[in-house]
Amino acid sequence: MFTPAYLRRIIPSSRQFYGLCISFLICFSASGQILNIEKDRIDSDTANVWLGNIGLTFNTRSQQVQVLTFNAFSNVVYLSRKHSYIFISNNNLIRIKGQDVISDGYGHFRIHFLRRKKLSAETFAQAQYDESRGMHERELAGAGIRYHIHHSDQLNLAAGLGAMYEHERWALEGNDSTTSVVKSTNYFSLHWKISKHAEFNFINYYQARFSAFFHPRIISDASLIISINRHFAFTTRFVATYDALPVIPVNKYVYSLTNGLVFRF
């Protein structure tokens, strides 16, 4: 039920090396967002602990052109006996010849009430921007219910239904627009523990205005995480978003593919 989320595009092939510099383990999808936190929904007896990862990368390269890349992220979860409190943030900057090619980021806070129950509740709030696509600001807040379809040591399935209030301000090449709307936000999630060292996470969101329910924003977020040891893992993540009714004329379909090495605690 997030709907989580920042939309990122692939840089032209001559600049794709930056993908190795921007690494993150966050998988979370949220309204207008793209954030997938299924891996941090621990349903065991774990309680009163902090989990997550925090990182910072900075790169500069000067040959025929000067390229600067910067990424800062955090993914922190506190698990109490009954509830979970989740904060996730991510900020990216890619600058070529002094011009920002990619500049996006978000901060997302979520509370999952009665996290071990088969039927539970969630609330969330998020702030986000994506300057490279013309989205100067997006603020949203919402709530919903979450239903655990199946839970085992190897496989977890869940679905969520909810609603959110979303405010956006876009401006790109003379197209300016500000919207405030209430949307339906719904999701299906899967967590599969493939082996002791590998896991797969998938979440799909369907978000739409109630007045245009069959013209949605659909977000699919999949990630494969392979553990190297207790604290390090390699991750590959694919995120695709289709928006049937963009606020301004931009590409309706965007996607990103990232690979990275991350530190976990």
Task: Name residues whose C-beta falls within 8 Å of residue 226's C-beta, 6 or more positions apart in sequence.
Answer: 197, 198, 233, 234, 235
Q: What is the pLDDT of residues 175-203, one digit of tens each?
A: 899 999 999 999 999 999 999 999 999 99
User: What SS3 class is residue 13?
Assistant: helix
Domain 13-263 sits in CATH at 2.40.160.40
Nearest to 140 by CA among 38, 29, 40, 51: 29
Residue 151 corresponds to which tokens in the numbers above?
């839970």
Domain boundaries, the chain: 13-263
Residue 55, amino acid: G
Distance CA 244, CA 241 (A): 10
In this predicted structure, what is the pLDDT of residue 234? 84
In this predicted structure, what is the pLDDT of residue 45? 58
In this predicted structure, what is the pLDDT of residue 204? 96
Q: What is the pTM of this model?
A: 0.75
In terms of C-beta density within 10 A (0-12 exposed, 13-18 middle, 19 or more buried), how is residue 37 classed?
A: buried
Distance CA 102, CA 44 (A): 39
Residues in the chain, pLDDT under 50: 1-35, 40, 43-44
In this predicted structure, what is the pLDDT of residue 63? 65
Please count the helices (runs of H) and the strands (runs of E) in the chain.
Answer: 0, 12
Contact 157, 41 (CB under 8 A): no
In this predicted structure, what is the pLDDT of residue 93? 87
